[in-house]
Amino acid sequence: TPDLWPHVSTPLPGPKSAELFARMDKVAAAPMQDHDEVPFVEVRKEDCLIVDVDGNVFADLVAGWGATPYGATPATVTEAVVAAQRNYGMEITDYVQNDIAIELAEKLVAIAPPGITRVMVSLSGTLAVEAGVKLAREATGRPMILVFHGQYHGEVTYLTASVSTDLAEVNSASSAYVGGLVFAPYPQQFRAPFHRGPGPYDDTLYMDFIEEWLLVHQVEPTQIAGVLIEPVLGEGGIHVPSAAFWERLTAACDRWGWKLILDEVQTGMGRCGTVFAGEHWDLRPDILLLGKGVAAGGQPIAAVMATEEVMGTTDVHGGGTFAWTPAACAGASAGIDVLTNGETLANVARIEETARRILSPLVDEVEQVGDVRMLGAFIGIEFVTDKASIKPAPEFHRVVHQECVNRGVLGVTQLGKWVYRLQPPLTMPIELFEWACETIADVIRDV
């Protein structure tokens, strides 16, 4: 509907949403989410808008946390999914091959960074990371993986261990290593431990920290199989490392034989303005993990990609019954066509430019805006109590988020955290995104 625009005409939650929440809360193990965070029940998407059961309309700056990269599924993608479902039904693709899966594998290899020539099926971001870790271990014969605090890699036991955002734990016993995970602070996280005040800082120091850490904990660098890293820290608050950090990290990878395992589940497939975020620093991963944005057809699918050298030396299996079903493959394949049509990435550039123009000045204007960070359509506004101490301000964040929702803008928040995240569909019309940014800026100035 061309004239559909965000508007909220009931108190939130509206009466129908409230009724559905009450029903859900009676049967759910725990509330599916804090209803204060998302105070409505979705009934459908219209392009890049979310419509709730009470008829309220919100600008979607969440995009399924990256898994609905084009807003409401584009018609070409939906048609591909439906046709595959009709023609093939279900198939265990990593057992019985089908032409759709083969075409998808070829397309993924064609868009992959130089050196990545092989692809393995996977079902979710979590399982892709799991397979990536196994690949690195098997390819090197080494037990340990270097991870970074505040990263998110999925919900399996081994990987949840890496999600702590509490910097105090970096040096604590719990971070010594958990079953072969070696922890390091992610560049700029909370702009510490090397830099606690505002202003520029030198994040090459993070490599000094890692080297010192290995010494203190008597970890031989040659015990480490690989470095598992999000090119831009997502759930942990949109931190974009410097080129200098990557230079030192990749030099350490070369020196010690660490496999570079890029978790691009969130950042890949256009989110950061290039097909893969690693392109910004010309990174050459050994292992590349994809999820969310690949699943453009709304069917669960993920991919594990690697160099000839890694895949050729291992016997790791990454599949599973529902990995790469024909419908999922068809949706992913049609989604790649949208991603590479020239217009989609041009729109991401417009989104970034708009966010910089409207949101970045808030750092100078509002005491509680500590920082505005972004790469492409991956945007974070950090709230602090004041600029001098840069202490997190989750309460300010909560109030901003709730007022934005009241005005028809849904961003990504997690109450208790202090970075408000905006990750609109890559195809969001720029007038809508501009309006959403203006609304957010007004709210932040007003609160």
Interface positions with ligand PMP (CB under 6 A) = 65, 124-126, 129, 152-154, 230, 234-235, 263, 265-266, 291
Neighbours of 439 (CB within 10 A): 18
Residue 226 C-beta: closest distance to ligand PMP, Å? 15
* Distance in angstroms (rounded) separating the CA atoms of residues 244 and 263: 20
Closest approach, Cβ 229 to ligand PMP, in A, equals: 10
Give CA–CA dist 5/15, Å, rounded. 21
Residue 159 CB, shortest distance to ligand PMP, in Å, is 8
Determine the residue with CB nearest ligand PMP: 125
The answer to whether 82 and 312 are in contact (CB under 8 A) is no
Measure the CA–CA gap between 206 and 186, rounded to whole angstroms.
8
With helix as H, strand as E and coil as C, how does 69-114 read?
CCCCCCHHHHHHHHHHHHHHCCCCCCCCCCHHHHHHHHHHHHHCCC
| In the complex, least distance from residue 288 CB atom to ligand PMP, rounded to whole angstroms | 12
Spatial contact of 129 and 159, defined as CB atoms under 8 Å apart: yes
* 421 in Cβ contact with 413 (< 8 Å): yes
CB of 266 to ligand PMP, least distance (A): 4
Minimum distance of ligand PMP from residue 305's CB (angstroms)? 14
> Considering only CA atoms, which of 178, 158, 353, 216 is closest in space to residue 273?
353
User: Which of 159, 409 has the CB closer to ligand PMP?
Assistant: 159
CB atoms within 10 A of CB 310: 26
Residue 58 backbone phi and psi in degrees, to 5: -125, 140
Give the residue with the Cβ less far from ligand PMP, 105 or 127.
Answer: 127
Nearer to ligand PMP, 203 or 235 (CB): 235
Q: Cα(first)–Cα(last) distance of the chain, in Å?
A: 33
3 state SS of 201: coil
Q: Choose between 53 and 67: whose C-beta lies nearer to ligand PMP.
A: 67
Cβ within 8 Å of residue 426, ≥6 positions away: 63, 69, 70, 270, 271, 339, 344, 345, 347, 348, 351, 377
Q: Which residue has the tokens 């975020």?
A: 277
Select from 295, 291, 270 the least CA-distant residue to 377.
270
Residue 169 CB coordination number (10 Å): 14
Show the tokens assigned to 302. 């993920």
Compare residues 214 and 373 and give the one whose CB is closer to ligand PMP: 373
Closest distance of CB 407 from ligand PMP, Å: 27
Between 154 and 331, CB nearer to ligand PMP: 154
Axis crossing angle, helix 343-359 with helix 430-446, rounded to the nearest 10: 20
| Min CB(162)–ligand PMP separation in Å | 10
If the CB atoms of residues 139 and 277 are measured against ligand PMP, the closer one turns out to be 277
Q: Which is nearer to ligand PMP, 250 or 266 (CB)?
A: 266
Which segments of 362-408 are extended strands (E)? Answer: 369-375, 378-383
Is the Cβ of residue 178 or residue 205 nearer to ligand PMP in the bound state?
178
Q: Which is nearer to ligand PMP, 13 or 154 (CB)?
A: 154
The least distance separating ligand PMP from the CB of residue 67, rounded to whole angstroms, comes to 8
Beta carbons of 259 and 393 less than 8 angstroms apart: no
Q: Min. distance of Cβ 234 from ligand PMP in angstroms? A: 5
Nearer to ligand PMP, 124 or 427 (CB): 124
